[in-house]
Structure 1
Amino acid sequence: MGRLDLSRRSLLGRLSGLAVAPRVLFGGGAHAQDHLLEAEWLATAGVEGGFAPVVLAPDFAATSVGAGTQRLHWVEPSPDGRTAVAVARRPGTTAVLFDRRAGSVLATFEPGEGRVFSGHGRFVDGGRRFLAVEIDRASGQGTVSRRVVEAGFAIEAEWASSGMGPHDMLPAGGALVVANGGIEPHTPEALGAEIAGSSVARLDPVTGAVRSVAELDEDLASLSLRHLTSGHDGFTVVAAQDLLADGIARPLLYAVEANGLRAFDAPEEAWRGLRTYVGSVALDASGAFVAAASPRGNMVAVWRRDGRFVGTLPLVDGCGLAPTREPGRFLATSGLGETVLIGTDGESLGVLARRSGGPRFDNHAVLAA
């Protein structure tokens, strides 16, 4: 813990003297801030009057951008360094393009006819196109829509996600990886269900053709595969939520490999501590460590890349996770307005800095490009 303690003293020195209350500004969707924002991370949150994208500064100060009635979920920064898109969570029908420096909403767009957004999307092709995962209202079948940014995010192509209830999607290892969650836990459809019907599909990123579909073994069929993270080398991890609360401690984190899904390792009490639910997953800047957050278990857990368990830290209603620009560090946010900096040296974990008084952060945070 020596290195963690030194890092903590250094960081706290830099943060000393800061006000505890964040900058949370409320205004019209098109109204810009009176100064440019320094966006280190992006998130979404519940704010007075609804839900909004949130810009987080290096000192964790939070500024909301506009407000709307639909719950926003994931924020995807554009490679242009200026804009980002926040996508509404299922059954949302709005995605919001905003200027993360000026703090203003620029545009909104909707899913394809008869569909809803599942909360996630990704910029591709250098930011010229945007991919969104969408779900058919009636059948639950998934679609990946490819949109042209300069054409107002108009759909130019769409492909089947090769599964039911897709939730997350990202480009990795030369493929488009889609987490088809199947039946979503803790919904009316999940009552009495024991098989989620989830999978991880790898699609051709140009044509959408299916390259492979990986499913879990029969004894893990109750797991809904939902959230993804990947590194620069294509290493990809998917996190799960369990339909069943039957006392069995099933692994909730898997590496996506060429021959299927490989479970991460952890003591049984650690899996139980996550309380059947991982709401967010992230790789650190080095790609050596993986963090997973459980708002139901009120904790953040960390593993080495090879699947070896490092440990957990408590964070009440904590779910948002993002890397920092330094190896072995993660930003975590909570629904109670806390922002926490977590560090690991591969043997232990520590809290390097903490700030309270922020908005009611939603499930995700992301490092701004």
Structure 2
Amino acid sequence: MGLIDLTRRSLIGTFGALAAAPRVLFASNAAHARDHLLDAEWLATAGVEGGFAPVVLSPDREATTVGAATQRLHWVEPSPDGRTAVAVARRPGTTAVLFDRRAGTVLASFEPGEGRVFSGHGRFIEGGRRFLAVEITRADGAGVVTRRVVEAGFAVEAEWASAGIGPHDMLPAGGALVVANGGIEPHTPEALGAEIAGSGIARLDPATGAVRTTATLSEDLASLSLRHLTSGADGFTVVAAQDLLADGVARPLLHAVEGEGLRAFDAPDEAWRGLRTYVGSVSLDASGAYVAAASPRGNRVALWRRDGRYIGALPLVDGCGLAPTRDAGQFLATSGLGETVLIGTDGDGVGVIARRSGGPRYDNHAVLVG
């Protein structure tokens, strides 16, 4: 068994029976109670003994786990209130957990609508008073965006169709709500033998959910499932893809969302093949000038300029989580082997600034807070 076989991806099988449970048991262990406040710079999720947990990372990347869940947590969304955050379980998960990122304690949890599962992503809006969650109908894969009132225990006050099937990520950008409808999810039973993902980008009205525009890929890229999103302060948005096909064709796995169209990023064929059909996380840096994409299957993190020009890549075994730092041209990357790496670029090359090992088994995502 190779090294990659023992990483985060194998955790899915290890905890598969727990993740399939219809309801979550989330423990807020008294041992996690703090007599001081945590200095949270980034948030993440990880596999821990007994399940999964949100993770608080300090500025020097020291990791503190919060509680323990039986379902695999995916994205963590910090609230603008400066203290709390929500960790959302990924498909087929049925829980989202509210926790105090400074005290390191679990506060509450909530579930998707009847007959639905969470896709792993959600976003605070309206200064933290509302929370948007992406949900998938079990029966047919149809996507639903729910708008929840935080002070009412995350009760649903409205819900809209996501304008596609298999939605995965969603974020507000450019005055719209951008949803990545992934279609058929790669590496699932449904994907066996499939060649067309049926994915697309929908831009919804953030107040009513009405569809403003949709965008799909060209026919030669129809096997790509559009999954993860990142955006800058100016609304510039990038979507990352995963390929249903492993046929050796070098298809671009990053695309800029431009109105009703998608613009592919550039890279040498060997760079796209090096990602092994899979981008698990994508991030813009603090300046919005650079884009990073992580591939745990390709064991690397690759960087581009905003205009889509390829810069280069660095090896990171089972690396997937990505987040900006507070400095231009820098990113935090996390791995399923418990490593955190600070990566930097000047636009011409890519280098490692610092490494730290000995952390938990980080999952797909990381996010900068504040």
TM-score bin (small chain): over 0.9
Q: Are the structure 2 counterparts of residues 92 and 29 from structure 1 closer, same or farther at C-alpha, using a change threshold of 3 Å?
A: farther
Secondary structure at the residue paired with 2:68?
coil
Equivalent in the alignment of 2:60: 59
In the alignment, the residues of structure 1 paired with residue 78 and residue 260 of structure 2 have an alpha-carbon distance, to the nearest angstrom, of: 31
Q: Is the 1:39–1:57 Cα contact (8 Å) retained in structure 2?
A: yes
Query: How much does 1:35 deviate?
Result: 1.7
Contact 1:316–1:336 (CA<8 Å) still a contact in 2?
Answer: yes
Determine the C-alpha separation between the residues in 2 that align with 1:30 and 1:317: 30
RMSD: 1.0
Alignment partner, residue 112 of structure 2: 111
Give the superposition deviation at 1:82. 0.1
TM-score, scaled to structure 1: 0.92
SS at match of 1:361: strand
* Helix, strand or coil at the partner of 1:322: strand
Cα deviation, residue 292, structure 1: 0.2
TM-score normalized by the length of structure 2? 0.92
The question of whether the paired residues in 2 share the 8 Å contact of 1:344 and 1:350 is answered with: yes
Separation (CA, whole Å) in 1 of partners of 2:31 and 2:62:
21
Unpaired segments ≥5 residues, structure 2: 1-26
Q: Identity percentage over the alignment?
A: 85
How is 1:181-260 mapped onto 2 (pairs within 5 angstroms)? 181-260=182-261
Q: Is the 8 A contact 2:28 2:106 kept in 1?
A: no
Q: 2-side partners of 1:160 and 1:27: how far apart?
A: 34
Q: Which residue of 2 aligns with 1:315?
A: 316
Counterpart-to-counterpart distance in 2, 1:226 and 1:29: 37
Separation (CA, whole Å) in 2 of partners of 1:27 and 1:260: 45
Structure 1 residue identity aligned to 2:210: A
| Whole-angstrom distance in 1 between the partners of 2:170 and 2:33 | 31
> Kindly tell me: are residues 38 and 182 of structure 1, through their superposed partners in 2, closer, same or farther at Cα, counting changes over 3 Å?
same
Q: Is the 8 A contact 1:30 1:105 kept in 2?
A: no
Deviation string 1:126-147 (CA, Å, 9 cap, x unpaired) is 1000000000000100000000
Separation in structure 1 between the aligned mates of residue 341 and residue 206 of structure 2, nearest angstrom: 35
Q: What secondary structure is seen at the aligned counterpart in 2 of 1:275?
A: coil
- Change beyond 3 A, Cα 1:208–1:367: same
Long gaps (5+) in structure 1: 1-25
Alignment partner, residue 288 of structure 1? 289
The count of residues paired between Structure 1 and Structure 2 equals: 344
Which letter maps to 1:148?
V
The amino acid across from 1:60 in the alignment is R
Matched, 1:357 2:358: yes
Partner-residue secondary structure (3-state), 1:269: helix
Higher normalized contact order (CA 8 Å, seq sep 6+, divided by chain length)? 1
Structure 1 counterpart of 2:146, one-letter code:
S
Determine the C-alpha separation between the residues in 2 that align with 1:155 and 1:30: 33
- Confirm or deny that 1:80 pairs with 2:114: no
Aligned to 1:14: none
Task: Give matches, 1:1-369, under 5 Å.
Answer: 28=29, 32-369=33-370
